């Protein structure tokens, strides 16, 4: 299988399909690159090269004890881009993957990057602080850590509800969608999944957002029960100069996997990349 080697020797799995301008996808927690399959096929069918990697700690990538933090995630993304020698790249990140993309630009610049897309992304900061009152209290993330540590299988089954908005009365989310969420999540090692909670909740990417100097599309659902739009999309859209901000009414956190929202996102992504 294809791998890139991170700075510390960790093997990072990636899939690489199609040809044309490269679009590189970074997935959310606690999933794998497979969560992007529908968008990857869509974009490859429209003449683009698409790449997605499994974050360290899960899927087909190695599960090191150390390095489960946003800086290292960003450097792992850099290792993939360097392994494939990609240029003129469109970086697309969902949730924690959006933080990974943002921190990558903060640490590595935009020399290889043409555009960026942040979807339901964690920047600038999820944690509630005096300076960030719109965030979520630390107790929310402590509960997530407890769920992962004690019975992560049942925790993921339960989490799939609010993740996709399946707990809403008008939801059309299928059991199959929820089952694949559980399946992907269970391939992530407990250490990586546990440590990543701190990475996605407590890492402030405000200064990284300010460094983004390429065209950027920000998409967020206004019914996101995982990453509150007021602390994320609303703020990020003001910090990224010239960003295009699209709010999807009624969309959940995992909007890329819910058909009626995924169709809109796929069209928006294609239009943005082609513009």
Would you name the residues annotated as active-site residues? Answer: 95, 224, 253
Return d(Cα 6, Cα 193) in angstroms, integer.
19
Return d(Cα 161, Cα 163) in angstroms, integer.
5
Phi, psi for 118 (deg, rounded to 5): -115, 125
The strand order across the sheet containing 113-119 reads 3-5, 11-17, 49-53, 22-26, 89-94, 113-119, 216-221, 244-248
């Amino acid at each position: 299988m294809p791998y890139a080697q991170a700075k510390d020797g960790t093997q990072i799995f990636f899939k690489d399909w199609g040809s044309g301008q490269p679009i590189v996808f970074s997935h959310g927690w606690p999933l794998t690159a497979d969560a992007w399959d529908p968008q990857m096929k869509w974009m490859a069918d429209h003449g683009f090269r698409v790449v997605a990697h499994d974050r360290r700690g899960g899927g087909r990538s190695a599960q090191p004890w150390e390095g489960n933090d946003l800086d290292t995630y960003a450097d792992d993304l850099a290792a993939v881009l360097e392994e494939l020698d990609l240029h003129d790249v469109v970086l697309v990140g969902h949730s924690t993957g959006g933080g990974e993309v943002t921190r990558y630009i903060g640490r590595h610049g935009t020399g290889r990057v043409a555009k960026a897309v942040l979807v339901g992304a964690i920047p600038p900061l999820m944690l509630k602080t005096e300076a960030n009152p719109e965030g979520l209290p630390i107790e929310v993330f402590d509960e997530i850590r407890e769920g992962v540590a004690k019975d992560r299988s049942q925790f993921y089954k339960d989490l799939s509800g609010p993740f996709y908005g399946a707990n809403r009365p008008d939801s059309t989310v299928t059991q199959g969608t929820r089952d694949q969420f559980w399946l992907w999540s269970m391939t992530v090692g407990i250490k990586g999944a546990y440590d990543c909670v701190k990475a996605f909740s407590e890492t402030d990417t405000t200064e990284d957002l300010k460094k983004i100097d390429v065209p950027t599309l920000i998409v967020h659902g206004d019914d996101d029960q995982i990453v509150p739009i007021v602390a994320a999309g609303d703020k990020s859209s003001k910090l990224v100069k010239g960003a295009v901000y699209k709010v999807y009414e009624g969309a959940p956190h995992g909007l890329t996997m819910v058909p009626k929202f995924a169709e809109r996102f796929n069209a928006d992504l294609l239009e943005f990349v082609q513009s």
